[in-house]
Amino acid sequence: MAKERVLLIFSTETYDKALTYHLIHDCNVKINILKASITPGKEGHLLIDIDGSEEDVASAYQYLTQEQIKVVPANRQISIDKDLCIHCGACTAVCFAEAMSLNRDSWQVEFSPKKCIACGLCVNACPLRIISIAGDNLACTMVE
């Protein structure tokens, strides 16, 4: 079995596909939608967990690729320029998924991509502006 969190980015041409139906019906995977932002005529974003057998998850990826939907693994959504981090902890204040946390021995900020739901609050909370998010900061605007 495989469970993967991915951000789907679809273009103005592909936004109107019955995507989740095809994934569930044809690929036999469980879909859990964590965040969605779809506006007709604009680029859309969907943050989902795909759960199923290795084979089914692979077929889901195949379907998405074939439909020209960009699949970004969720752990690549938030990126931090770690060399520039001063470990102030401002990002941990807003991270309710607790993906950003402070190690209470070293007092360094640690990031667990697996816990990240890509809400994007940390992007604006970071006073050094060293956190970025894939997909046009869209997840970020969704929260606000």
Partner 1 sequence: MIKKSYEEINSKIKNGTAVVLTAEEIISMVEEQGIAATTRKVDVVTTGTFGAMCSSGAFINLGHSNPPIKMSKIRLNDVPASGGLAAVDTYIGATEVSDSDENYGGAHVIEDLVAGKNIRLQASSYGTDCYPRKAIDTLITKDSINECFLFNPRNAYQNYSAAANSTDNILYTYMGTLLPKFGNVTYSTAGQLSPLLNDPYLRTIGLGTRIFLAGTEGYVAWNGTQFNPSKPRNEKGVPLGAAATLSLVGNLKNMSTDYLKAAVFKNYGVSLFVGIGIPIPLLDEEITQFTAVRDQDIQTSVYDYGVPDRSRPALKTVSYAELKSGMIELNGKKVRTAPMSSLYKARAIANQLKSWIQKGSFLLTEPVAPLPSEANILSLDERR
Residue 64's nearest CA partner among 76, 53, 50, 52 is: 50
Size of the site for partner 1 (CB under 8 A): 21
- Residue 73 or residue 127: which is nearer to partner 1 going by CB? 127
Which structure tokens are listed for 110? 């640690």
Residue 10's nearest CA partner among 34, 57, 55, 42 is: 42
- Residue 104 or residue 114: which is nearer to partner 1 going by CB? 104
Q: Please give the full DSSP string across 1-21, using - where no structure is assigned.
A: -EEEEEEEEE-TTTTTS-HHH
The residue from 34, 58, 97, 102 that contacts partner 1 (CB under 8 A) is: 102
Q: Interface with partner 1 by CB under 8 A: which range of 16-24, 30-38, 51-59, 102-110?
A: 102-110
The residue from 107, 110, 137, 141 that contacts partner 1 (CB under 8 A) is: 107
User: One symbol per residue from 109 to 138: x for binding partner 1 (CB under 8 A), - otherwise; what is it?
Assistant: ------------x--xx-xxx---------
Integer Cα distance of 16 and 18 in angstroms = 7
- Residue 68 or residue 103: which is nearer to partner 1 going by CB? 103
Report 58-97 residues binding partner 1 (CB under 8 A). Answer: 86-90, 92-94, 96
Q: According to the binding rule CB under 8 A, does residue 38 interact with partner 1?
A: no
Which structure tokens are listed for 88? 């102030």
- Please, which residues have CB within 8 angstroms of residue 77's CB and are 6 or more apart in sequence? 7, 116, 118, 133, 134, 135, 139
List residues near partner 1 by CB under 8 A.
Answer: 86-90, 92-94, 96, 102, 104, 106-108, 121, 124-125, 127-129, 144
